Amino acid sequence: MACARCHADGEGDGQLAARIGPIPPLASPTVAAMSTAEIEALIRTGRGAMPPHAKRLTAAQIRSAAAHVRRLNGLTP
């Protein structure tokens, strides 16, 4: 998936970390505190060194990625 080059399997610091700097893990207290809607918004618009994905992914792919991130945190989407 589009996220793995940076976030690896969720543990962060994937292969692009050498180029763009530290990449946070997707299972963390910070991410666990985010709602599904907030995660979807972050994926769409990006933040800092994370590029926006609104044009790279379909709405369904963004929903599914956000649901995956929630599950990585042991939460239901």
| x-or-dash string of contact with ligand HEC, 18-37, rule CB under 6 A | --x--xx-x-x-xx------
**CB of residue 74 to ligand HEC, shortest distance in Å:** 15
Establish how many alpha carbons lie within 13 A of residue 32's alpha carbon, considering only the half-sphere containing its beta carbon.
7
- Site of tokens 């992914």: 57
End-to-end CA distance of the chain, in Å?
18
Report which DSSP code applies to 33.
T
**What residues make contact with ligand HEC under the rule CB under 6 A?**
2-3, 5-7, 16, 20, 23-24, 26, 28, 30-31, 39, 42-43, 47-51, 53, 65, 69
